[in-house]
Structure 1
């Protein structure tokens, strides 16, 4: 991954970079896998008679059981403490209602960002250019892939920063760090800040 070059044009900024063929293939595979996970989650939503009448889509009312999907679709409300007078049932009920109402839109937004990334990522690697909207979609989609991969790696505030070479996830940590740099450089480009 090369650094992003911001070029200001009459029709708005453009963001240029280059991907090696293996980087483009890796990005394509990870984003496509994430979209598959989102599709599976959406397909698991129960059918709703009210949706058929009103056209208002509803999603799953229960949180994902899979830790990776839970990271992509977290609860909306987390009580500050578990000693709430109404008990944890109130938070669970609120999360269930909000999830049912908003999860379809969130999945759509994540899938649209992923589609834009896949449409603009050069399949065989090479030079490419993004509009500002494309760049924002890349930031969102790369972030989603990082969240999913970070969940699998057990990433938290304290790392891990590195894994022993013989660890089965050692290569995945390198990919996570590469995605972090790719995203950071693009965010700096969007902000118009120089990349050191």
Structure 2
């Protein structure tokens, strides 16, 4: 089980993690939450139903990593596509941010709930619902790190795999690869 998720009875998954891995995962999830931003809670005494109909932003985020998490729905090749994307964003981005925030919070909470299982680390057990939150958060973390590393769909970062240990990007590349392996094994545990 070390380093990869395995299915457990009841539709969940488990993975063995050491203390450093728990710390890294928690730190990355917290950084992701900071990147996504705080939730838009209704003001005290405000109608919560009215808050559901608040419009979101209409412009794409300036930060490339955030823009990768909240991409344009229709591209931006022409004015008409930009207008459609703007409208779509206005009515969907707040909900998407909320879901991504819930995924990140679920990761932090499950990691915080772990208790040490001896010196070798802990076994993280996820329910089926937790697995879905973790899949979302792992995907968002990989998208964010991949954007920062300028990984493209065409090369999937081939040059990054051969970085010397002295390169300051090396730890991010290692995190990117590790998160990908966790994500892949979690997906495999959920497949029938």
Specify the alignment match of 1:47 in structure 2: none
> Is 1:94 the counterpart of 2:95 in the alignment?
no
- Give ranges in structure 1 of 5+ residues lacking alignment: 44-50, 83-87
Distance 1:123 1:96, change over 3 A: farther
Greater CA drift, 112-121 or 173-182:
112-121
User: Aligned-pair distance for 1:54?
Assistant: 4.0
Contact persistence 1:18–1:126 (CA under 8 A): yes
Stretches of 4+ moved more than 6 A in 1?
none
What does residue range 37-76 of structure 1 map to in structure 2 within 5 Å? Answer: 37-39=35-37, 54-55=50-51, 56-76=53-73
Specify the alignment match of 1:191 in structure 2: 191
Contact persistence 2:64–2:147 (CA under 8 A): yes
How many pairs were matched up?
174
SS at match of 1:149: helix
- Give ranges in structure 2 of 5+ residues lacking alignment: 41-46
Q: Please, which of 7, 27, 30 is the counterpart of residue 28 of structure 2?
A: 30
What is the TM-score when the length of structure 1 is the normalising length? 0.81
User: Aligned-pair distance for 1:117?
Assistant: 1.3
SS at match of 1:127: strand
Contact persistence 1:61–1:97 (CA under 8 A): yes
What is the TM-score when the length of structure 2 is the normalising length? 0.83
Deviations 1:46-80 (A, max 9, x none): xxxxx99943122111001111111111101127x
Cα distance in 2 between the residues matched to 1:18 and 1:30: 18
